[in-house]
């Protein structure tokens, strides 16, 4: 996932975004181009090293008519732009949004907190993020246990528990492209995992007026490391 | 737009027009895995291997056990002695090894190189604690002709921290037999240990010699300097008496020294100075079946929309669309065929009412059945009208409906994002035996007749010939199959040998039994172009818990004839029973259409049981190819990802004298799913059976399409092992 947009012309990215909510045939047309690009980029990337992040311009943002999430994977590099394809209200607090990448991988966000991935590799099958969701909603510190169920890469899973502390780091503002939001920066520090010493450090910018996580840096499993998530348009 | 696709079926039913294929392109995600994220799973205390390919120092064993499931291959050589060893940590405390060794210059059977096979077992008595060391009791070469026979008790303790960098490991132990031959301190359990006798046939447990005779201490240190480098030193209690007598090498010292380098996570190499005279090398590969060589990445499923709440849109729940069952079933079939096809699945048939839809399908892509179940469930959730609440998902393998996985659609919708998604769904899923057929269902009419072919290379090995331990034949093979109707298959394989030396042996069979297997070299040199198989197979389900098969034709390399099998295996049962009866005639050595005179009626009654922790036991009682009667015991450990390691032995009314070398038939089996290596969805498996000796007693017919393995992958125990696949 997500290496796709790295060197594809920005126009193509915008076209994929503008393809709209679920007109599947048109999504596929742009996908075909993107996939062809992906292979080539794979080769280029190996030659050129890690791909660079895409910087979104105000013009691109203005042209975007649908909900869009920029994802910058730290290990793999590059950027991708995800579309929201579904929302779920289940029995657990918080609303889940399902975001789809240009190469059909999925990221599940519960009120902005990553609770699942699909098709990324070493996926988060499910996660209990109640502690974080509550802390972000209240913009208040909290501590407790978080749990991830991670794919081992052979259709089995490992359950990982972490002791986590969420703290309020800064009350200020965050800028997304040319938009500025009054927001609270929250930090989450976790320790645990199979050997007891795996550390996770997540960071969230929560908009004060709406409670939306505008920007975050979150752990998405052992294979993928951290993703930077930027909510371009909600 | 919720329900957009769901409405299509309603429209299709009303208009009785075909739904346009809903395009589904599954792109392979391009996100590259991190280089070293597996580090978390590394086992820091994984022991290194000794020259016998088991946890240890240099030539001496240690008190450690491998991590559970560890599978190792060790190749070592010094002083003209080469040992190749497979070791499997079958349970957290029990490991087993199989070794093939060659000793240049040991004059036992008149050959330049003495070759032998040996088995070891080890039991971990105590796990290392804060103060107590790990302690292991081991039996080496406990059942063969016994060149390496030796027993030991060893204790190992780790020390780290302080001023010493890295980790220091100290081992002390006492040994008997080979390990008690130098520096003996007495005979605590009796002096009456029989000496090594190469003229025995081996195969029998040498209980009369275990822990008898001279006992001697041994000790050693292993200093792991950092992640890569380690140093070893030991005091050996092996006198190498037989080797000294024949001048294999000069043993001038009891001390051995070595340095080891960890090349990669799985490979370690070492160089050594042994017994004051010899340079030695050791190459060790360690794998753990639980950790795939490359992580499987499955394309993400396509998301579906949950249904609107009934109170919001009661009309959506109206079941009128299914007033005509056949019309509705046909529409559902037409909607699902392309969706399943995009996922590598083939819809076989489907039947629907307003509230329940059953889908029968064949999985052609995913190694784990659960992944296919999840994909089918999602496809159903995408297109079925809201009134359908019950999904019955039935995986079918060549006309055998394995089981019915029953999911409530509301559960599927509610649990996908649940913190405990897999366990929560399993708790409310039903797994049951499936009816043989689906009367009134809409069949996929494009399936039959089906014709398939494949062309590829083949490799055939023969092991343990004293003149040439590994012989290989290779060439090309052409497989053809034709399926005129469900459950009927006509299949064949033609091979053409391009190179090889399997048939080059000049060892003639010395068997006093009918030569049902020992003629293998004659078959190997019979002809270059051969008809390996050509048969008609029919399989079906007579009842929900019963499976049946009839096969006739050229069944395997050496036999042709007829075979029939019935298996009882409820989908949720750990227990299964089967009966197989065959009447076969021995084929000509050229493997074309002709037969020789030997005919035999052979068959077995079998019981299968799935124990905990993936262990599968099998007992077969019956008549074997040489007309001997007896039983085969098989025990395998199957990991959730499909890795399987096991062993078997057969005892029949053939005496060990008549059987010949090895006394009875036995061997080890290994199955590795291709997925585990390549990291892509793939249903193929690599499998091999290694027999120390292939003789005529206790030999079984190799019939294609035995039922148990065809059926079990869709049954409860297998499904539960990778249930998380439903969400992957």
Same domain, B402 and B460: no
Chain A nearest C-alpha distance from B317 (Å): 19
Whether residues A223 and B33 touch (CB distance < 8 A) is answered with yes
Angle between helix A10-18 and A24-48 (nearest 10): 150
In chain A, alpha helices (H): 10-18, 24-48, 58-63, 130-138
* CB within 8 Å of B130: residues ≥ 6 apart: none
Query: What's residue A133's pLDDT?
Result: 96
Same domain, B409 and B478: no
Q: Is A92 on the interface with B (CB under 8 A)?
A: yes
Residues of A in contact with B302 (CB under 8 A): 104
Mutation for B interface: A97, A111, A117, A153, most B CBs within 10 A = A153
Same domain, B238 and B335: no
Q: Is B76 on the interface with A (CB under 8 A)?
A: no
* Interface subset of B 336-395, CB within 8 angstroms of A: 367-368, 370-371
Query: What's residue B549's pLDDT?
Result: 98
B363 contacts B373 by C-beta, under 8 angstroms: no
Q: List the domain range (segments joined by +) for residue B554.
A: 450-719
Same domain, B139 and B213: yes
Own/partner pairs, B687-692, CB within 8 angstroms, 24+ separation: B687/B644, B690/B98, B690/B463, B691/B463, B691/B665, B691/B666, B691/B667, B692/B98, B692/B117, B692/B464, B692/B662, B692/B666, B692/B667
Nearest CB partner across the interface for B31, out of A73, A85, A195:
A73
Q: Residue ranges of chain B with pLDDT lower than 70?
A: 1-45, 144-145, 197-203
Same domain, B249 and B394: no
Number of domains, chain A: 1
B252 contacts B240 by C-beta, under 8 angstroms: no
Neighbour-count burial of B29, counting CB atoms closer than 10 A to its CB (0-12 exposed, 13-18 middle, 19+ buried): buried
CA dist., res. B560 & res. B404, Å (int): 36
Chain B nearest C-alpha distance from A39 (Å): 8
Same domain, B319 and B240: no
Give me Rg for the CA atoms of chain A: 17
Q: List the domain range (segments joined by +) for residue A46.
A: 4-233
Cis bond leading into A229, ω under 30°?
A: no
Residues of B in contact with A105 (CB under 8 A): 29, 31, 300
CA dist., res. A78 & res. B504, Å (int): 58
DSSP state, residue B483: E
Place of tokens 């077995």: B604
Residues of B in contact with A149 (CB under 8 A): 420-422, 724
Nearest CB partner across the interface for A157, out of B35, B304, B422:
B422
B724 contacts A155 by C-beta, under 8 angstroms: yes
Q: Name the phi and psi angles at A39, rounded to 5.
A: -60, -45
B175: left (phi over 0), alpha (psi -120 to 50) or beta: beta
Nearest to B444 by CA among B329, B324, B353, B333: B333
Mutation for B interface: A2, A154, A199, most B CBs within 10 A = A154
Q: Is A147 on the interface with B (CB under 8 A)?
A: yes
Nearest to B98 by CA among B113, B117, B80: B117
* Domain annotation covers residue B23: no
Q: Which H helix or E strand runs over B535?
A: strand B529-543
Whether residues A154 and B34 touch (CB distance < 8 A) is answered with no
Residues of B in contact with A42 (CB under 8 A): 30, 32
CA dist., res. B681 & res. B675, Å (int): 6
Q: How many residues does chain A have?
A: 234
Residues of A in contact with B418 (CB under 8 A): 90-92, 126
The residue among B446, B471, B501 that closes a domain is B446
Query: What's residue B6's pLDDT?
Result: 64
What tokens were used for A199?
A: 């550390």
CA dist., res. B170 & res. A153, Å (int): 36
Q: Is A129 on the interface with B (CB under 8 A)?
A: yes
Neighbour-count burial of B459, counting CB atoms closer than 10 A to its CB (0-12 exposed, 13-18 middle, 19+ buried): exposed
Chain B nearest C-alpha distance from A173 (Å): 31
B475 contacts B458 by C-beta, under 8 angstroms: yes
Same domain, B218 and B347: no
* Domain annotation covers residue B31: no
Query: What's residue B11's pLDDT?
Result: 62
Query: What's residue A5's pLDDT?
Result: 35
The dihedral of CA B696, B699, B701, B704: what is its sign? Answer: negative
* Interface subset of B 436-475, CB within 8 angstroms of A: none
A99 contacts A20 by C-beta, under 8 angstroms: no
Which chain B residue lies closest to A127 (C-alpha atoms)?
B419
C-beta atoms surrounding B39 within 10 Å: 12
Place of tokens 């502390």: A165
Place of tokens 């749990």: A147
* Interface subset of A 28-57, CB within 8 angstroms of B: 28, 31-32, 34-35, 38, 41-42
Q: Is B677 on the interface with A (CB under 8 A)?
A: no
Place of tokens 């190499």: B269
Residues of B in contact with A130 (CB under 8 A): 419
Is A28's pLDDT higher than 80? Answer: no
User: What's the helix, strand, coil split of chain B in %, to 5?
Assistant: 15, 45, 40
* CB within 8 Å of B235: residues ≥ 6 apart: B218, B219, B220, B254, B255
CA dist., res. B191 & res. B195, Å (int): 11
Query: What's residue B37's pLDDT?
Result: 40
Place of tokens 């070595």: B258
Q: Indicate if ipTM > 0.95.
A: no
Same domain, B149 and B244: yes
Task: Look up the CATH number of the domain holding residue B472.
Answer: 2.40.160
CA dist., res. A204 & res. B341, Å (int): 41
Query: What's residue B565's pLDDT?
Result: 98
Q: How many residues does chain B have?
A: 728
Residues of A in contact with B414 (CB under 8 A): 90-91
* Domain annotation covers residue B342: yes
Q: Which H helix or E strand runs over B243?
A: helix B241-245
CA dist., res. B204 & res. B145, Å (int): 9
Q: How far is CA B383 from the centre of its chain?
A: 38
Whether residues A104 and B368 touch (CB distance < 8 A) is answered with no
Same domain, B475 and B339: no
Query: What's residue A8's pLDDT?
Result: 32
CA dist., res. B642 & res. B634, Å (int): 17
* CB within 8 Å of B460: residues ≥ 6 apart: B472, B473, B474, B500, B502, B524
> Which value, to the nearest 10 degrees, does the dihedral of the CA atoms of residues B510, B514, B520, B521 take?
40
CA dist., res. B531 & res. B517, Å (int): 18
User: A-B interface: how many C-beta pairs under 8 angstroms?
Assistant: 186
What tokens were used for B481?
A: 């199959």
The residue among B446, B480, B504 that closes a domain is B446
The residue among B255, B287, B319 that closes a domain is B287
Nearest CB partner across the interface for B29, out of A104, A154, A221:
A104
Task: Look up the CATH number of the domain holding residue A114.
Answer: 2.40.360.10
Q: How far is CA B417 from the centre of its chain?
A: 34
Give me Rg for the CA atoms of chain B: 30
DSSP-derived pairing of the beta strands B345-352 and B356-363: antiparallel
Nearest to B440 by CA among B571, B327, B313: B327
CA dist., res. B603 & res. B550, Å (int): 13
- The vertex-B548 CA angle with B544 and B553, nearest 5°, equals 160
CA dist., res. B56 & res. B154, Å (int): 10
Strands (E), A80-156: 80-89, 95-100, 106-110, 113-118, 124-128, 142-151
Whether residues B31 and A76 touch (CB distance < 8 A) is answered with yes
What tokens were used for A50?
A: 């890690």
Same domain, B395 and B483: no
Same domain, B663 and B607: yes
Query: What's residue B632's pLDDT?
Result: 98
Same domain, B356 and B371: yes
Nearest CB partner across the interface for B296, out of A25, A129, A153:
A153
Whether residues A88 and B417 touch (CB distance < 8 A) is answered with yes
Nearest CB partner across the interface for B416, out of A88, A224, A225:
A88
Chain A nearest C-alpha distance from B37 (Å): 5
Residues of A in contact with B728 (CB under 8 A): 118, 123, 125, 151, 155
* CB within 8 Å of A51: residues ≥ 6 apart: A3, A6, A7, A41, A45, A76, A77, A78
Whether residues A195 and B38 touch (CB distance < 8 A) is answered with no
Q: What is the pLDDT of residues A101-115, one digit of tens each?
A: 998 999 999 999 999
Q: How many helices (H) and strands (E) does chain B have?
A: 11, 32
Coil vs helix vs strand at A207 = strand
Nearest CB partner across the interface for B422, out of A73, A126, A130:
A126
Place of tokens 């065809």: B710
CA dist., res. B572 & res. B155, Å (int): 44
B295 contacts A223 by C-beta, under 8 angstroms: yes
Q: Is A122 on the interface with B (CB under 8 A)?
A: yes
Q: Is A125 on the interface with B (CB under 8 A)?
A: yes
CA dist., res. A64 & res. A17, Å (int): 7
Nearest to B408 by CA among B419, B400, B416, B397: B416
B333 contacts B369 by C-beta, under 8 angstroms: no
The dihedral of CA A9, A14, A19, A24: what is its sign? Answer: positive
Q: Is B40 on the interface with A (CB under 8 A)?
A: yes
Number of domains, chain B: 3
Q: Is B195 on the interface with A (CB under 8 A)?
A: no
């Amino acid at each position: 996932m997500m290496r796709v947009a790295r060197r594809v012309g920005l126009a193509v990215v915008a076209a994929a975004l503008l393809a709209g909510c679920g007109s599947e045939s048109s999504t596929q047309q742009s996908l075909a181009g993107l996939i062809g690009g992906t292979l080539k980029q794979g080769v280029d990337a190996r030659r050129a090293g890690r791909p660079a992040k895409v910087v979104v311009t105000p013009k691109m943002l203005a042209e975007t008519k649908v909900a869009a999430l920029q994802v910058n994977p730290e290990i793999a590099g590059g950027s991708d732009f995800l579309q929201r394809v579904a929302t779920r209200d289940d029995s657990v607090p918080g609303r889940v949004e399902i975001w789809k990448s240009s190469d059909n991988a999925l990221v599940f966000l519960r009120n902005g907190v990553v609770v699942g991935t699909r098709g990324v590799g070493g996926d988060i099958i499910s996660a209990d993020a109640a502690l974080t969701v509550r802390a972000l909603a209240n913009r208040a510190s909290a501590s407790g246990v978080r749990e991830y169920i991670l794919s081992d890469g052979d259709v089995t899973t490992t359950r990982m528990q972490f002791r986590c502390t969420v703290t309020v780091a800064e009350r200020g503002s965050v800028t997304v492209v040319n938009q500025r939001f009054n927001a609270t920066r929250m930090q989450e520090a976790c320790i645990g995992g199979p050997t007891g010493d795996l550390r996770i450090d997540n960071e969230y910018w929560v908009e004060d007026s709406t409670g939306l996580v505008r920007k975050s840096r979150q752990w998405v499993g052992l294979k993928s490391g951290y993703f930077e998530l930027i909510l371009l348009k909600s | 737009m919720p329900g957009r696709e769901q409405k299509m079926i309603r429209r299709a039913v009303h208009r009785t027009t075909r739904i346009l294929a809903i395009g589904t392109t599954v792109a392979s995600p391009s996100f590259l895995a991190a280089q070293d994220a597996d580090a978390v799973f590394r086992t820091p205390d994984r022991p290194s291997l000794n020259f016998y390919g088991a946890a240890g120092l240099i030539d001496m064993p240690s008190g450690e056990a491998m991590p559970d499931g560890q599978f190792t291959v060790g190749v070592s050589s010094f002083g003209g002695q080469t040992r190749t060893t497979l070791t499997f940590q079958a349970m957290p405390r029990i490991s087993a090894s199989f070794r093939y060794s060659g000793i240049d210059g040991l004059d036992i059977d008149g050959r330049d190189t003495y070759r032998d096979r040996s088995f070891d077992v080890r039991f971990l008595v105590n796990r290392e604690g804060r103060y107590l060391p790990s302690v292991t009791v081991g039996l080496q070469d406990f059942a063969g002709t016994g060149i390496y026979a030796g027993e030991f008790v060893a204790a190992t303790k780790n020390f780290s921290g302080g001023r010493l960098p890295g980790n220091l490991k100290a081992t002390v132990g006492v040994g008997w037999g080979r390990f008690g031959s130098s520096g003996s301190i007495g005979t605590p359990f009796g002096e009456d240990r029989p000496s090594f006798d190469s003229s025995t046939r081996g195969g029998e447990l040498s209980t009369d010699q275990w822990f008898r005779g001279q006992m001697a201490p041994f000790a050693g240190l292993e200093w792991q300097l950092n992640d890569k480098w380690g140093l070893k030193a030991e005091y050996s209690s092996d006198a190498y008496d037989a080797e000294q007598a024949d001048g294999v090498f000069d043993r001038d010292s009891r001390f051995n020294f070595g340095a080891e380098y960890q090349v990669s996570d799985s490979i370690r190499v070492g160089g050594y100075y042994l017994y004051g005279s010899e340079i030695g090398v050791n190459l060790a590969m360690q794998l753990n079946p639980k950790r795939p060589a490359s992580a499987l990445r499955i394309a993400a499923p396509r998301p579906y929309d949950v249904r609107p709440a009934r109170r919001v849109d009661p009309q959506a729940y109206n079941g009128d669309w299914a007033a005509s069952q056949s019309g509705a079933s046909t529409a559902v079939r037409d909607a699902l065929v392309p969706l399943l096809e995009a996922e590598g699945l083939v819809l076989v048939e489907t039947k629907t009412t307003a509230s329940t839809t059953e889908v029968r399908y064949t999985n052609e892509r995913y190694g784990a059945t659960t992944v296919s179940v999840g994909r089918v469930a999602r496809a159903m959730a995408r297109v079925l009208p809201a009134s359908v609440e019950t999904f019955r998902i039935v995986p079918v393998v060549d006309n055998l409906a394995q089981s019915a996985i029953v999911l409530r659609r509301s559960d599927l919708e509610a649990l996908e994002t649940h913190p405990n998604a897999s366990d929560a769904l399993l708790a409310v899923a039903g797994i049951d035996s499936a009816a043989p057929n689906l009367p009134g269902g809409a069949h996929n009419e494009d399936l039959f007749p089906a014709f398939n072919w494949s062309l590829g290379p083949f490799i055939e090995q023969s092991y343990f010939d004293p003149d040439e331990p590994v012989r290989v034949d290779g060439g090309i093979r052409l497989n053809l199959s034709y399926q005129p109707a469900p459950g009927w298959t006509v299949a064949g394989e033609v091979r053409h040998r391009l190179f090889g030396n399997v048939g080059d042996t000049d060892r003639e069979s010395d068997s006093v039994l009918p030569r049902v297997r020992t003629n293998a070299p004659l078959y190997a040199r019979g002809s270059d172009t051969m008809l390996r198989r050509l048969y008609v197979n029919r399989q079906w389900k007579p009842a929900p818990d019963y499976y049946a098969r009839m096969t006739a034709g050229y069944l395997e390399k050496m036999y042709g004839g007829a075979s029939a099998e019935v298996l009882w295996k409820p989908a949720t049962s750990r227990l299964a029973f089967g009966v197989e009866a065959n009447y076969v005639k021995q084929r000509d050595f050229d493997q074309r259409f002709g037969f020789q005179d030997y005919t035999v009626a052979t068959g077995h009654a079998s019981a299968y049981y799935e124990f905990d922790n993936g262990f599968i036991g099998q007992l077969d009682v019956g008549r074997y190819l040489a007309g001997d009667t007896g039983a085969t015991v098989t025990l395998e450990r199957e990991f959730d990802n499909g890795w399987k390691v096991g062993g078997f032995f057969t005892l029949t009314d053939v005496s060990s004298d008549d059987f010949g070398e090895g006394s009875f038939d036995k061997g080890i089996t290994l199955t590795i799913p291709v997925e585990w290596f390549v990291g892509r969805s793939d249903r193929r498996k690599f499998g091999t059976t290694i027999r120390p000796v292939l003789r005529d007693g206790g030999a079984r017919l190799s019939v294609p399409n035995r039922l148990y393995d065809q059926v079990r992958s869709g049954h409860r125990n297998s499904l539960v092992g990778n249930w998380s696949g439903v969400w992957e």
